[in-house]
Homo-oligomer: A and B are copies of this chain.
Amino acid sequence: MRRAFIPSTDLVPRVEKGEPFAVARMISRAEASSSEAREALGALYRKAGRAHVVGVTGVPGSGKSTLVATLVARLRAAGARVAVVAIDPSSPYSGGAILGDRIRMQEHALDEGVFIRSMATHGAMGGMAHACLDVVDILDVAGYDTVLIETVGVGQDEVEVANASDTTVVVSAPGLGDEVQAIKAGILEIADIHVVSKCDRPDSNRTLTDLKMMLKDAPPRDGWRPPVLGLSSLRGEGFEDLMDAMARHREALAGPGGVARRRAIAAFRLRKTAETILIERFRGREQGSVDALAARQQDPYAAASELVRNFTGEKADA
């Protein structure tokens, strides 16, 4: 028997009750950026804002996935319901996330107080960012106290989405190569909390010292001076400090610094959502004279300008 389609707006009260089926269904529709789901997602946005949304980002090899797994266990042990939205780099062609939900954090698999979701980064330009934040809202409304957004700290969308959270944790690690360190420099400034992972390693003190030196003259972020914490997921050390810093930053954000931050996040979401809707409306109209272009008889600017003019109804010189 074929199950009847449940309209997204009917799922909203069931998401509020935290029903796993409704949560999973709603998330799938948010990921697919289904236009049917937009009214419901809008309603969920207006109901959200209760959870502590924490972005965790770091370069590949920084140990951030292990750190997130341990952090989930610690928050859970402290009585919180915890959700993780992990943004995996994925193939632009096969469309599948690489690290499936099933192989991640298997120890939490049977715990209803923990929800893990891997999202692919494929799809429309910028679409990942707004879909991810919609998923965060769903989990927020479903009653998770802390929602962790785990992203790799490479790529503009990945960094922006980590930054669009209440608290951003940037993970560094000792012993990474020059190339990786250089990439890392690009994400240090979005940190509310700096974490050096793998502090069981002898070279971690050097990394801690270097990082503190590098941040010595950095201006406060929304009136908050980001602490630098050492952690060892292997030994389970430093997680109390991290949870404490997360709670303190959340409190600090309740002050005037938080207003600017929430406005910036709202502006970011508005822009990303509008751009996604705009590109979506445009889609299908971008099929121009590809053959003339491939033969270099026409150029992309002339061809693209014409397509955009046709779409917006502008005159040639408008």
A residues neighboring B (CB under 8 Å): 38-39, 41-43, 45-49, 59-61, 65, 88-94, 98-99, 121-122, 125-126, 128, 130, 152, 154-160, 163, 176-177, 179-180, 182-183, 185-187, 189-190, 259, 262-263, 265-267, 269-279, 281-282, 286-288, 290-291, 293-294, 296-305, 307-308, 311-314
Contacts of A262 in B (CB 8 A): 294
Task: Pick from B91, B189, B274: contact of A304, CB below 8 A.
Answer: B274
Contacts of A157 in B (CB 8 A): 155-156
B156 and A60 within 8 A (CB):
no
In the complex formed, the residue of B with least CB distance to A35 is B301
A267 and B290 within 8 A (CB):
yes
How many chain copies does the complex carry? 2
A156 and B189 within 8 A (CB):
no
Least distance between A311 CB and chain B CB atoms (Å)? 7
A125 and B275 within 8 A (CB):
yes
**Distance between Cα atoms of A38 and B308 in the complex (Å):** 15
Least distance between A87 CB and chain B CB atoms (Å)? 11
Is the contact region of chain A dominated by helix, strand, or loop, or is it mixed?
helix
Least distance between A60 CB and chain B CB atoms (Å)? 5
Q: A155-B155, A190-B93 are in contact. Are A282 and B274 (CB under 8 A)?
A: yes
Contacts of A308 in B (CB 8 A): 274, 277-278, 281
Contacts of A163 in B (CB 8 A): 92
Contacts of A267 in B (CB 8 A): 287, 290, 293
**Distance between Cα atoms of A298 and B46 in the complex (Å):** 6
Least distance between A90 CB and chain B CB atoms (Å)? 5
Task: Pick from B98, B183, B299, B313: contact of A45, CB below 8 A.
Answer: B299
Task: Pick from B60, B93, B121: contact of A179, CB below 8 A.
Answer: B60
**Distance between Cα atoms of A307 and B163 in the complex (Å):** 24
Residue among A190, A271, A276 with the highest chain B CB neighbour number at 10 A: A271
Q: A61-B177, A156-B122, A185-B98 are in contact. Are A270 and B282 (CB under 8 A)?
A: no
Contacts of A273 in B (CB 8 A): 300-301, 303-304
Contacts of A92 in B (CB 8 A): 156, 159-160, 163, 186, 190
**Distance between Cα atoms of A89 and B88 in the complex (Å):** 17
Contacts of A311 in B (CB 8 A): 278, 312
Task: Pick from B270, B282, B293: contact of A293, CB below 8 A.
Answer: B270
What 9 additional pairs, Cβ within 8 angstroms, besides A60-B180, A273-B300, A276-B304? Answer: A60-B177, A89-B154, A121-B156, A125-B156, A128-B156, A130-B300, A155-B158, A263-B290, A277-B304
List 27 A-B pairs, Cβ < 8 Å. A42-B300, A46-B296, A47-B296, A60-B154, A61-B180, A91-B189, A92-B156, A92-B186, A92-B190, A125-B275, A154-B155, A155-B155, A156-B157, A259-B294, A265-B294, A266-B294, A267-B287, A270-B288, A270-B290, A270-B307, A274-B282, A274-B288, A275-B282, A277-B308, A278-B282, A311-B312, A312-B313
